[in-house]
Structure 1
Amino acid sequence: MVHSMTAFARRSQDADWGNLQLELRSVNQRYLDLHFRLPEALRDMEPTWRDQLRSRLARGKVECTLRFIPNAEGTSVTVNRHRLDELARALHEVRSLVPDATMPDALALLDHPGVIDTEETDIEQIKHAAQSLFAHALDDLIAGREREGEQLATLIRTRLAGIREQVDAIRIRLPTIIEGQRNQLLERLEAVRAELDPQRLESELTLMAQKADVDEELDRLATHVNEVERQLGQSGPVGRRLDFLMQELNREANTLSSKSVVADTTRSAVELKVLIEQMREQIQNIE
């Protein structure tokens, strides 16, 4: 099944310790390119999440953003009296040695390391919640990439049907085109036929027919179209293979255009190029 590289997923959780918000964004990229923005306290989650992303995604630029807002109301604040007594004795000693020294105010004392004790939030509990959010968000992201991939596959199959129609139309007209070219050349040479070597004339007519015959190009176009259809039904990443097939389809369309001898074939070649380019644009988003 075809997967797109473009999707977005967001999960959040509220708890006594605060709020967690996790976002995953992915866009098209030639390779798998991972970027993380995590709170410092949860930075060590990154290696695990990298491994999980690599195990389930093959291509795309993926941005993972985790925000943590602690719950200030649920955090108790107490003064460490022992630490404050030690600091007061130290300040008294400084004042006895340097009487002119400026003493800190109460807020400065409270800001000193160790004077204020805060109830530590269980960081492992937050990490467990963050891992759960990430797992669900990753499932959502992959489901989104799958849904968009199905839409891309539908668009591509519509273009494949258009290519088949053009190929069939050229096949039907091809004998008439070749015969018309032969008759046209014979009419032009009728006036000087007596001066031409019949064997040479037949050779020129055969060469002209070979140049106008695009049956081989039509066969290759049909083969490539069938292979694109087959790839759309494969499991796993198929974007690079499809991109290569677009190059091959375009090559055959160019050859068909260069060998065109009538306006109908030229128009069909142009329409083929338009359809192929439309597919190529869609395939850029396929994993």
Structure 2
Amino acid sequence: MITSMTGFGRGKAESEQYSVTVEMKSVNHRFCETIIRMPRQLMEIEDKIKKLVQKQVKRGRIEIFVTISGENIAQKDVEVDWKLLGHYMDELKKIQQTYQLTDAVRISDVLKMEDVFLLNEKQQDRTVLHGLVLEACEQAVNQLLLMRKQEGAQLLSDIVAQVNQLHDVREKIVQLAPKVVDHYKERIQKKLSEYTGEAFEQQRVLTEIAIFADKADINEELTRIQSHLQQVIQTVETETLVGRKLDFLTQELNREINTIGAKANNGDIAQCVVEMKAHLERMKEQVQNIE
């Protein structure tokens, strides 16, 4: 089964001290890109989270949001730099004496003194918290995968439908292709008759028709289109990580369809080419979503 690159997952894990919620969303991307937004105190397990996700997700841009409630993740203490504070106070006294100021130094003034108060973070055991985060991440990625598979099933259905439509239009062109040369032969003979009567060189006409038939021959392109369509069906039915391969096949199909449009000098075939391009464009849009 093919998998979409878009999806959403949510996980939650709790203990007596903490409640951890992890949300993941993924969108299209050429490679696997993981972006994690969480408190900086948990950055030490960032690699573990990425490995957990990338073990199951191979393509897409995955954004991960980690939210924690409960006890503070970090315990902090305030430390006073008494030596620096003493310097501040000494200098303030000098200013008062020099300029005969009578205002007293208030606590609000002390709080504004730069670098006097230092905030220190205590090291603490976060083993339990780390386990909760990873547990919630695993729940979220499982939900994400489920949604990606569900969307993948819808993509598969639409791609198969487009392939069937392309196959039907190709069959129309197969039926029309032999008539192109016959119509050209009729046109050239009619024009020559109008200009020269019946006195024109048949061998020259046959030569011109042969040259035209060679230039307008689209059998090779039709055969390759059939092969590519078969490969698309085989790929989506038997493989999993098919996004890049399908992207290549749609490019090849586009090339062959354009060649038919350029070579086939026929209005009905031109109309079929337009129809094939419309179906192929729909298929390309769906392929861009596949992992």
Place the TM-score, normalised by the shorter chain, in its bin: 0.7 to 0.9
Match for residue 160 of structure 1? 163
**What amino acid does structure 2 have at the position aligned with 1:175?**
P
**What amino acid does structure 1 have at the position aligned with 2:40?**
E
Match for residue 271 of structure 2? 267
**Are the counterparts in 1 of residues 180 and 264 from structure 2 also a CA contact under 8 Å?**
no
Please state if 1:129 is matched with 2:132: yes
From the superposition, tell whether residues 16 and 113 of structure 1 become closer, same or farther in structure 2 (CA, over 3 Å): farther
Q: Which runs of 5+ in 2 are unaligned?
A: 73-79, 94-103, 112-116
**Are the counterparts in 2 of residues 19 and 71 from structure 1 also a CA contact under 8 Å?**
no
Map 1:200-239; keep pairs closer than 5 Å: 200-239=204-243
Greater shift, 168-177 or 275-284, is seen at 168-177
Question: Separation in 1 of the partners of 2:176 and 2:202?
Answer: 28
- State the Cα deviation string for residues 131-155 of structure 1 (Å, max 9, x = none): 1111121111112111111111111
Greater shift, 190-199 or 228-237, is seen at 190-199
Indicate which of 172, 179, 198 corresponds to 2:175: 172
Q: Which runs of 5+ in 1 are unaligned?
A: 73-86
- State the Cα deviation string for residues 36-70 of structure 1 (Å, max 9, x = none): 11222322121111122222222111111101112
Question: Separation in 1 of the partners of 2:118 and 2:249?
Answer: 65
**What amino acid does structure 1 have at the position aligned with 2:232?**
V
**Are the counterparts in 1 of residues 232 and 246 from structure 2 also a CA contact under 8 Å?**
yes
From the superposition, tell whether residues 265 and 113 of structure 1 become closer, same or farther in structure 2 (CA, over 3 Å): closer
Shift of 1:195: 5.4
From the superposition, tell whether residues 128 and 259 of structure 1 become closer, same or farther in structure 2 (CA, over 3 Å): same
User: Percent of counterpart pairs with the same letter?
Assistant: 28
Question: Separation in 1 of the partners of 2:226 and 2:70?
Answer: 61
Shift of 1:32: 1.0
Question: Separation in 2 of the partners of 1:20 and 1:176?
Answer: 70
Greater shift, 33-42 or 277-286, is seen at 33-42
Q: Structure 2 length as normaliser, TM-score?
A: 0.79
Match for residue 37 of structure 1? 37
**What amino acid does structure 2 have at the position aligned with 1:160?**
V
**Are the counterparts in 1 of residues 12 and 139 from structure 2 also a CA contact under 8 Å?**
no
Match for residue 64 of structure 1? 64
**Are the counterparts in 1 of residues 27 and 60 from structure 2 also a CA contact under 8 Å?**
yes
Match for residue 245 of structure 1? 249
From the superposition, tell whether residues 58 and 193 of structure 1 become closer, same or farther in structure 2 (CA, over 3 Å): farther
Question: Separation in 1 of the partners of 2:17 and 2:50?
Answer: 26
**Are the counterparts in 1 of residues 20 and 68 from structure 2 also a CA contact under 8 Å?**
yes
Q: Secondary structure at the match of 2:183?
A: helix
Question: Separation in 1 of the partners of 2:24 and 2:10?
Answer: 6
**What amino acid does structure 2 have at the position aligned with 1:240?**
R
**What amino acid does structure 2 have at the position aligned with 1:123?**
R
Question: Separation in 2 of the partners of 1:113 and 1:207?
Answer: 89
**Are the counterparts in 2 of residues 2 and 234 from structure 1 also a CA contact under 8 Å?**
no
- State the Cα deviation string for residues 227-276 of structure 1 (Å, max 9, x = none): 11111123332111111111111111111111232221111000111111
